[in-house]
């Protein structure tokens, strides 16, 4: 049986540079507390769990915890693929500093520690893109989370894609046409906000319509099922499908961001007609 607190202590002592925060994934409050006892008092600890009772138990000890949507037991080793999203989430919520060093402690489904330099994750490019566009980093991070959920889960066992555009709504409407009646009409802003993860299931349903979902720079969806009007002179690049071409086109035409979710396993962000960020799903 592994001694997780000892592993954490060794990681802290052997690292040539200090850490800015600790992220722990666990469904065992006792393990979390035992790790917390070996951490410096000034080192922030955030816990991700799939059990509400664990979150509540940790809250009584002053330990910050969040409940994951999906159970850790069902994720298995796929949790390793989602650590990237958890780190981005931490940066979006500002408890992980941009360019900071993070110690990840796994207690589900395996025990282990991972040392992460966020500069090496490409997160700096995402941060720069958010700043250039005047968009909160959290908006882009939530968009990527939504895109990943769509790209990895698919629909009824079939891989699917999606298309999002972020920017000036009037400009984006001017370079697109409605393919269906707008399903967002009449819905409150709170129900259309991508920053609220409770809305992601609904947004995913509308993303499966043909066409794009349009979001303003605050992450509020305004339209779905919009067909992007790609200029005649704009042609696909090598390996680029229609959805990626549309995302590139809308970013170039409107000065916003186009996001293409590929059914073959990638998420690509475009700005000013250029690819700026890519995430592999497989």
The predicted pLDDT at position 1 comes to 46
Distance of CA 69 to the CA centre of its chain: 13
The predicted pLDDT at position 194 comes to 96
Extents of the domains making up the chain: 4-118, 124-280
Rounded to whole angstroms, how far apart are CA atoms 235 and 232?
8
Where helices occur in 48-136 by DSSP H, the ranges are 52-59, 72-75, 79-92, 123-133
CB contact set of 116 (below 8 Å; sequence gap of 6+): 83, 87, 101, 102, 103, 104
| Tens of pLDDT, residue by residue, the chain (282 residues) | 468 999 999 999 987 778 888 989 898 999 999 999 999 988 989 898 888 999 999 999 999 898 876 655 555 556 666 677 777 767 766 777 766 788 999 887 778 898 888 776 666 778 888 889 999 888 998 898 898 888 876 555 566 789 999 999 999 999 999 999 999 999 999 999 999 989 999 999 998 888 999 999 999 999 999 999 999 888 877 777 889 999 999 999 999 999 999 877 788 999 999 999 888 765
Q: How far is CA 3 from CA 10, 18, 107, 151, 254, in A?
A: 11, 22, 11, 37, 54
Under DSSP, the state recorded for 197 is G
pTM of the model: 0.70
The predicted pLDDT at position 83 comes to 74
Q: How far is CA 246 from CA 212, 230, 231, 268, in A?
A: 9, 6, 10, 12
Options 3.40.1700.10, 2.40.37.10, 3.40.50.620, 3.30.1330.60; CATH of 124-280: 3.40.1700.10
Distance of CA 222 to the CA centre of its chain: 20
Q: Positive or negative CA dihedral for 257, 161, 183, 145?
A: negative
**CATH number for the domain whose boundaries are 4-118:** 3.40.1380.20
Instruction: Read off the tokens for 229.
Output: 């009007």
Q: How many CB atoms lie within 10 A of CB 56?
A: 12
Rounded to whole angstroms, how far apart are CA atoms 280 and 282?
6
40-45 long-range contacts, Cβ below 8 Å, gap at least 24?
Answer: 40/12, 43/19, 44/20, 44/95, 45/21
Asked whether the beta carbons of 250 and 175 are under 8 A apart, the reply is yes
Where helices occur in the chain by DSSP H, the ranges are 4-14, 29-36, 52-59, 72-75, 79-92, 123-133, 137-153, 169-174, 200-207, 242-254
Under DSSP, the state recorded for 236 is P
């Amino acid at each position: 049986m592994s001694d997780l607190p000892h592993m954490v202590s060794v990681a802290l002592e052997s690292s040539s540079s200090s850490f800015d925060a600790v992220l722990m994934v666990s469904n065992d409050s006792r393990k979390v507390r035992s790790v917390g006892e070996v951490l410096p008092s000034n080192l922030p600890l955030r816990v991700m769990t799939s059990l509400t009772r664990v979150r509540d138990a940790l809250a009584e000890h002053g330990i910050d915890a969040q409940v994951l949507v999906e159970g850790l037991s069902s994720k298995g080793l796929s949790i390793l693929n989602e650590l990237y999203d958890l780190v981005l989430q931490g940066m979006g919520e500002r408890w992980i500093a941009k360019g900071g060093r993070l110690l990840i402690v796994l207690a589900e489904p395996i025990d282990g520690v991972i040392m992460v330099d966020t500069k090496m994750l490409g997160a700096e490019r995402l941060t720069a893109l958010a700043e250039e566009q005047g968009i909160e980093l959290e908006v882009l991070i939530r968009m990527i989370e939504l895109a990943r959920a769509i790209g990895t889960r698919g629909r009824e066992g079939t891989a699917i894609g999606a298309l999002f555009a972020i920017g000036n709504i009037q400009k984006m409407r001017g370079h697109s046409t409605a393919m269906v009646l707008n399903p967002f009409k009449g819905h409150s802003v709170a129900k259309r906000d991508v920053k609220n993860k409770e809305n992601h299931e609904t947004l995913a349903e509308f993303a499966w319509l043909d066409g794009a979902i349009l979001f303003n720079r605050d992450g509020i969806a305004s339209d779905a099922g919009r067909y992007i009007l790609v200029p005649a002179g704009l042609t696909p690049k090598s390996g680029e499908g229609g959805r990626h071409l549309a995302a590139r086109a809308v970013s170039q035409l409107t000065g916003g961001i186009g996001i293409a979710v590929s059914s073959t396993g990638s998420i690509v962000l475009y700005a000013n007609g250029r690819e700026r960020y890519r995430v592999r799903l497989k």
